[in-house]
């Protein structure tokens, strides 16, 4: 199935659902893709895509305990396009993950790339469950995929299930580290904006109180900060407050 054929089938499903009060059954979706050997994971991506388009997929429910993710419009568009791309990957075969692990450990060509393909959808799902307003879903998926590539160089021994647990623990850790970094940056930005506004208010208050221009040491004393800190904040405001001894 080519990309164009897949897209045409997906659009056909959407049009069919819209004619039925935005509802469609899993059986009908299965009939559309009959013969394409799609895996349950790929069908789930299709169901999630339809749900994002406000289409009810009869007979499909989110996994128990799964939370409804509220994404920004730009994140929703990115995720929609990304899931469409993932749904076009070659379907996972029965026992393929275990065979690929053995082939990868034996150094067989192509095993690494195909093994990573099998994990891409789960990386995206993890990004959705981990996402926060401070970080875009695209950045989280990119970070997860980067960690996936790096982790392939040090896969542990053991079964596919054991490898998966350790692999996705590393990916989650990388995503959470990125989130922590972005939260710290945004928190610092918010604090700086707050300090800038506070300094502007202080200058206005002191000018009104003294009936004259104010000096840096007066602003610093009022805000209970050093003159150096007040001067650093001043550079962001465009205000001119001289040092008294400079006149």
Instruction: List the pLDDT tens digit at each of the 247 positions of the chain.
Output: 676 788 888 889 988 888 887 889 888 998 998 887 777 778 888 888 788 777 888 877 654 444 445 678 888 899 889 988 888 888 888 888 899 999 999 989 999 999 999 999 889 988 988 888 888 999 999 999 999 999 888 887 888 888 888 888 899 899 988 888 887 777 676 777 778 888 888 888 988 888 888 888 888 888 888 888 888 877 766 666 666 655 5
Digit-coded pLDDT (tens) for 8-66: 888 899 888 888 878 898 889 989 988 877 777 788 888 887 887 778 888 776 544 44
The structure tokens listed for 14 are 């959407």
pLDDT of amino acid 67? 47
CA distances from 44 to 58, 110, 125, 225 (A): 13, 26, 11, 56
Best CATH choice for the domain 190-246 from the list 1.10.10, 1.20.140, 2.60.40, 1.10.357 = 1.10.10
Give whole-number Cα distances, 62 to 10, 53, 56, 174, in Å.
20, 15, 12, 26
Q: How confident is the model at residue 64, as a pLDDT?
A: 42
Q: Is 149 helix (H, G, I), strand (E, B) or coil?
A: helix
Beta strands in the chain (DSSP E): 23-25, 56-58
Q: Give the per-residue pLDDT at 245.
A: 56
Domain ranges, ordered by start, for the chain: 1-87, 190-246
Whole-Å CA distances, 6 to 17, 89, 122, 219: 17, 11, 21, 65
Closest to 82 measured CA to CA, from 145, 151, 14:
145
- Look at residue 66 in the predicted model and tell me its pLDDT: 45
């Amino acid at each position: 199935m080519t990309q164009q054929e897949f897209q045409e089938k997906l659009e056909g499903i959407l049009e069919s659902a819209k004619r039925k009060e935005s509802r469609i059954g899993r059986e009908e979706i299965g009939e559309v893709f009959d013969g394409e050997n799609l895996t349950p994971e790929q069908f789930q991506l299709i169901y999630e895509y339809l749900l994002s388009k406000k289409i009810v997929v009869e007979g499909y429910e989110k996994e128990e305990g799964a939370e409804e993710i509220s994404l920004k419009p730009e994140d929703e568009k990115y995720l929609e396009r990304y899931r469409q791309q993932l749904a076009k990957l070659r379907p996972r075969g029965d026992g393929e993950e275990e065979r690929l692990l053995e082939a990868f450990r034996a150094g067989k060509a192509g095993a690494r790339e195909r093994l990573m393909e099998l994990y891409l959808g789960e990386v995206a799902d993890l990004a959705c469950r981990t996402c926060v307003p401070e970080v875009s879903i695209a950045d989280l998926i990119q970070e997860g995929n980067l960690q996936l590539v790096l982790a392939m160089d040090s896969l542990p021994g053991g079964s596919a299930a054991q490898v998966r647990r350790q692999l996705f623990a590393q990916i989650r850790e990388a995503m959470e580290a990125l989130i922590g970094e972005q939260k710290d940056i945004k928190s610092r930005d918010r604090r700086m904006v707050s300090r800038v506004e506070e300094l502007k208010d202080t200058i206005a208050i002191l000018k009104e109180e003294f009936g004259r221009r104010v000096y840096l040491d007066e602003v610093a004393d009022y805000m209970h900060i050093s003159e150096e800190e007040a001067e650093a904040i001043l550079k962001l405001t465009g205000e001119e407050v001289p040092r008294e001894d400079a006149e």
